[in-house]
Structure 1
Amino acid sequence: MRMSVFQTYLKLGFFHIFNLQAYDHLVFLLALCAPYVLADWRRVVALVTSFTVGHSLTLALATLGFVQYDVKVIETLIPITILLTCLLNMRQTGRGQERRLDRQRSVLLALPNLLAAIFGLIHGLGFSSYLRELLGRQSRPVLELLAFNLGVELGQLLIVSIILLIGFVVLHLLHAARRDWILVVSGAAAGVAVVLLLGA
């Protein structure tokens, strides 16, 4: 019975993120992955896991009733996290060659992970409204929270895998410049963020 509950919430978490209706979170993941190529998959997994740690924390606290928040504020902050990620991508790309960009990333290895975790705190509050509706009046849904978070993580990993594969095709098969790829993807994500921000 408990395994059935775990599987149910695992699927709910997976399809909550792997869903076009979750386009704000999808666009954030797109912006997060834009500077990286398929060979950087370990770095991307670390980034996504940092993001998951952040959103798991606030998702649990909000779902269990320890944190209260204004939904409108979170709806405004989510596109801001996307926009800031895009601007950071563009700023780093504008500093010079890819070699220098890669060297900066190796020196400041913890910074992108820290930002991903901080932005995850905000996105976790966005997830919590949906999860609380599912849980109803359950007071200690520990198993459900664990399964839902794991499902979200699996969904995110699948999404970033698709993004990296598309990037591989564009960069290696279509021979696009990496700088152009980063700017186009980040610019598109920033455009979506601005639309979301204006509609918040």
Structure 2
Amino acid sequence: MSTFSLYFHLGLTHILDINGYDHILFVIALCAIYLLNDWKKVLIMVTAFTLGHSITLAMATLDLISVNASLIEFLIPVTIFITALSNIFKKQPGLTPQRSRINYAFALFFGLIHGMGFSNYLRSLLGKDETIVMQLLAFNIGLEIGQIVIVLIFLVLSFVFVNIIQVARRDWRLVISSAIAGISLILMMETKFW
């Protein structure tokens, strides 16, 4: 197995691992306000998130930045909670282009925080490798593909519930976002660093 394939597979399985459900919850929280026909907006948003965490993942892995791991482990559920809470308080069902750009900016910013959370994991895998560009690229592509899988599953479920079962779009958004907000509160209590 090539180095690229190895790190691609590690990134893919890392994101799809149910034990890393905090990341899965965040991706679902990002998607909770969208439906299947919004797939382009969701793809841009997930890619913005990947870009954000790729930047800090690379910087932290290369020891260009150093952040308290306990603080990051606490901030990750905070980002999940904020995203879910903002979904709950959204009034309009549709998204204006300006609102979409704000969502992309938040995804990018929160991606910066999540990337620092991955850095210890990736740093332990890389060991003392001198050149890590290919490994970082492969790992991030694996993460992006894994996120797209999660998004597709969620959007198909949204389609089934909203379009076939006829659950009101607002109710679907509120139930999903409320459940994620509740779980993220529990995660915040478990990871408090003070």
Alignment TM-score, normalising by the size of structure 2: 0.96
Q: Is the 8 A contact 1:64 1:139 kept in 2?
A: no
Q: 2:188 is matched with which residue?
A: 197
Q: 2:113 is matched with which residue?
A: 122
Mapping for residues 64-75 of structure 1, pairs under 5 Å: 64-75=62-73
Alpha-carbon distance in 2 for matches of 1:101, 1:176: 14
Structure 1 residues 177, 101: closer, same or farther in 2, change over 3 A?
closer
Q: 1:158-191 CA deviation, whole Å, 9 max, x = no partner?
A: 1100000011111112110000000000001001
- Percent sequence identity is 46
Partner SS, residue 144 of structure 2: helix
Offset, 1:112: 0.2
Among residues 93, 104, 113, which one is paired with 1:101 in the alignment?
A: 93
Offset, 1:106: 2.6
Alpha-carbon distance in 1 for matches of 2:85, 2:157: 22
The residue type equivalent to 1:128 in the other structure is S
Q: Is the 8 A contact 1:64 1:140 kept in 2?
A: no
Q: 1:20 is matched with which residue?
A: 18
Which segments of 5 or more consecutive residues in structure 2 lack a partner in the other structure?
none
In angstroms, what is the RMSD of aligned CA positions? 1.1
The residue type equivalent to 2:88 in the other structure is M
Alpha-carbon distance in 2 for matches of 1:87, 1:133: 34
Which segments of 5 or more consecutive residues in structure 1 lack a partner in the other structure?
none
Alpha-carbon distance in 1 for matches of 2:137, 2:63: 16
The residue type equivalent to 1:175 in the other structure is Q
The residue type equivalent to 1:101 in the other structure is P
- Is residue 39 of structure 1 aligned with residue 31 of structure 2? no
Q: 1:61 is matched with which residue?
A: 59
Alignment TM-score, normalising by the size of structure 1: 0.93
The residue type equivalent to 1:15 in the other structure is T
The residue type equivalent to 1:146 in the other structure is L
Offset, 1:124: 0.3
Alpha-carbon distance in 2 for matches of 1:21, 1:38: 27
